[in-house]
Amino acid sequence: MKYIFGVDLGGTTVKMGLFNESGEVLEKWEIKTVKDNNGAKILPDIAESIKAKAAEKNLSNEDVIGVGIGAPGPIDSDGNIYGAPNLGWGTFNVSDNLSKLTGYKVKTGNDANVAALGEMWMGGGKGYKSIVMVTLGTGVGGGVIIDGKIVAGAKGAGGEIGHIFMDENETETCGCGKKGCLEQYGSATGVVRLANRRLAKDDKASVLRGKSVDCKAVWDAVKEGDEVAIEIANEFGKILGRGLGIIACVVNPEAFVIGGGVSKAGNIIIDYIIDNFKETTFRGCKETDFKLATLGNDAGIYGAAKMLLD
């Protein structure tokens, strides 16, 4: 049996996992992300932690297939990162750098893309080879996997589906500076925005009134049958369904895998998406499956490890 290290590099912590080739995670641990000096210590810290774990487990160089790492920034299929402001990083080759530090083969991908690969391998997308993962969190992220491989994009912007342009009448500005991005409707923040906008429109009774609304409260109210909350969910589903309908016309995946905080509401979010999806997508794409993600915060380390198994 051979082994792989999977690394999910975030702005606060680095999650790490030791996997065997079958996709079992044998051990998980975390280290801090030290961002001083433009993140100069990040890769050396990761390398040190990997080497310590390999020594602890008595793994020879022949036992280790390599290291996969997901990082927050645009990363192409050669491992070049085109700047990561979150980490203080500029443009350089992550794979080459970490490979020199560890002595292992290294593959690098964008964190959202790598999480998508993890969900395909061992999560909600298990059994499929081609999926689009849609992460509905603080923002909307995505990852496109075709025939088991990440579509990284020419400049690492593959799967940046949070910023597809959905509504020319939008008046508020997205974090990216544009107006009308999918993220403005589909993220947790987006759901709250839709809720506040709807609540301000009139004074129809709703359990959502008289408190500070968060995303969970909206979906709880939908489950209780609150009419205003259902209107909000319909608006969310309309934009998400159309957006995913467009994506299906481009790559026609076997399945969409929906993850992120918003997806904690459960299958009800798929119910609100799927009718709008079927109504607006190409007929050949209507039967695309919809699944919920299952790996949660571990998707990144799984996908990172999987990159080494191609």
Site residues for a second copy per CB under 8 A: 74, 77, 82, 130, 144, 146-147, 149, 151-161, 163-165, 176-178, 242, 245-254, 280-285, 287-288
The whole-angstrom separation of Cα 117 and Cα 121 is 6
Q: Contact, 69 vs 304, CB < 8 A?
A: yes
Is the Cβ of residue 92 or residue 282 nearer to a second copy in the bound state?
A: 282
**DSSP per residue over 146-204, as a string?**
ETTEE---TTS-TT-GGG-B--TT--SPPTTS-SSBTHHHHSHHHHHHHHHHHHHH---
Is the Cβ of residue 155 or residue 201 nearer to a second copy in the bound state?
A: 155
Each residue of 145-184: b (16+ CB within 10 Å) or e?
A: beeeebbbbeebebbbbbbbebeeeeeeebeeeeebbbbb
Is the Cβ of residue 62 or residue 168 nearer to a second copy in the bound state?
A: 168
| Amino acid, res. 175 | G
| Amino acid, res. 154 | A
Host H or E run for residue 14: strand 13-20
Give the single-character DSSP code of 75: B
Per the listing, tokens 């050669």 go with: 78
Nearest distance in Å: CB 144, a second copy: 6
Question: 282 — alpha (psi -120 to 50), left (phi > 0) or beta?
Answer: beta
Is the Cβ of residue 156 or residue 260 nearer to a second copy in the bound state?
A: 156
Nearest distance in Å: CB 5, a second copy: 25
Is the Cβ of residue 6 or residue 180 nearer to a second copy in the bound state?
A: 180
Nearest distance in Å: CB 123, a second copy: 18
Nearest distance in Å: CB 235, a second copy: 13
Is the Cβ of residue 123 or residue 245 nearer to a second copy in the bound state?
A: 245
Nearest distance in Å: CB 248, a second copy: 7
Is the Cβ of residue 55 or residue 154 nearer to a second copy in the bound state?
A: 154
Q: Contact, 272 vs 136, CB < 8 A?
A: no
Nearest distance in Å: CB 260, a second copy: 17
Nearest distance in Å: CB 124, a second copy: 16
Nearest distance in Å: CB 27, a second copy: 34
Is the Cβ of residue 29 or residue 282 nearer to a second copy in the bound state?
A: 282
Helix (H, G, I), strand (E, B) or coil at 132: strand
Measured CA to CA in angstroms, residue 247 lies from 70, 87, 134, 182, 228 at distances of 23, 30, 11, 12, 29
**DSSP per residue over 109-121, as a string?**
EEHHHHHHHHHHH
